[in-house]
Amino acid sequence: MQATAPSTPRTGLILTGGGARAAYQVGVLKAIDRIRRDCHAPSTNPFPVIAGTSAGAINAASLACNADQFEASVQGLVDVWSNFHADQVYLSDSLGVVRTGARWLTMMSIGWMVARWRKLRPKSLLDNSPLHELLNTLVPVHRLPDLMRDGHLHALAVTASSYGSGQHVTFYDAVEPIEPWTRSQRLAVPDAITVNHLLASAAIPFVFPAISLPIHGRNEYFGDGSMRQSAPISPAVHLGAERILVIGAGRMHEPTVSPEARSGSDEYPNIAQIAGHALSSIFLDALAVDVERLQRINNTLSMLPPEVRARSNLKPIEVLVIAPSQRLDDIATRHLHSLPPAVRGLLRGVGVSGEGRAARGAALASYLLFEAPYTQELLALGETDTLSRRDEVVKFFGWERRNRDRGPLTGAEFRTQELE
């Protein structure tokens, strides 16, 4: 039995990256499942196409690997993110931090003196070997073939960035053959998704080690999929999605602030501030730019005569974007004390200090704060933001009409187009 009605537009889900910020996504999913139940909508997986990047790839794969039990899958993610501790993701004790972070900082400062000693060449700031164990429990990838065969899932895509070729690569698995696509500096590769694909996609540059993956008959080292990601929405369209829900991990638009009202410091930025700014550019900017570009394309197409639009190779795609209503950096400043002492000490060494409005380098910490007080607040924010947009969510899925008429959804007002 198919998990979705044939006449229902195939819905895609895009989960972007952001380290610990991905807790927000789970809060959004929790609210969506609550709205679904309130509308007495079908309990089947509402997202036949799922695509994720970085920590979003982990959430995406967890949903996909449990697509036959959507409500339980969401609750499982809520349980994990509500009770998170940094030592589930990376070694956070003093010995673990010394072995990686302290040595890494030493190599950055006096590496020219000790370059010949290979033992002093750590691969990253932190050792994320605990994450491998967590993923083996959270993401049962062996279930994917059966779930696709039984109609619970159409496709799953995970993106990573090759340090060797410099290309942005989307690895995907689908129920039916889909021709791989190639664009400037990005390509798609059909493959069976594994835990290593998730580790590679979530390997924040400098922070976590690169992962070796086979591609085109050879192995390449991959890092976080948010790097060089110019079109985050594109994979879902190529995999057959006809409408797409995008859940971001950062504010899409910052309010305009007058020069007089700006609170920025005139002090020279430290390493943590520069690193946080760089990570925000990697994780957040591409989605905002992609959505803005799609909206401009939509406005242009809406002015074309129907017969001209029919000859276009652009697909009409409805896109609903849900992103934080608050700055997650600001939330992180309230929880810096939650970090393990050794990690706090390491981050203090690169400039993360203070709390509240006096905090510096909180943007960097916001990606590494895998601690329950912080993730619980992000979960609550995601749930609140989504419930405040309940009418939009209901309209997007067509749940009220389905509940009232007990009939299939026949269409939707397409508001945003995707340029493949």
Q: Is the pLDDT of residue 275 over 80?
A: no
Phi, psi of 196 (to 5 degrees): -65, -35
pLDDT, residue 7, reads 63
- pLDDT level of residue 416 (50, 70, 90 thresholds): very low
Question: Smallest Cα–Cα separation from 46: which of 58, 32, 56?
Answer: 32
Contacting residues for 86 by C-beta, under 8 A, at least 6 apart: 92, 339, 340, 343, 368, 369, 370, 371
Mean of the per-residue pLDDT values of the chain: 82
Whether residue 418 is predicted with pLDDT greater than 50 in this model: the reply is: no
- The answer to whether 89 and 134 are in contact (CB under 8 A) is yes
Q: Would strands 315-322 and 211-215 be described as parallel, antiparallel, or unpaired?
A: unpaired
Closest CA to 334 of 350, 351, 352, 357: 357
* Among 71, 285, 278, 50, CA closest to 171: 50
pLDDT of residue 241: 92
Q: Which of 53-67, 107-121, 258-272, 346-360 has the lowest mean pLDDT?
A: 107-121
pTM: 0.84
**Residue 34, pLDDT above cutoff 80:** yes
Residue 261 is predicted with a pLDDT of 43
Per-residue model confidence as pLDDT tens digits over 195-222: 999 999 999 888 899 999 999 889 999 9
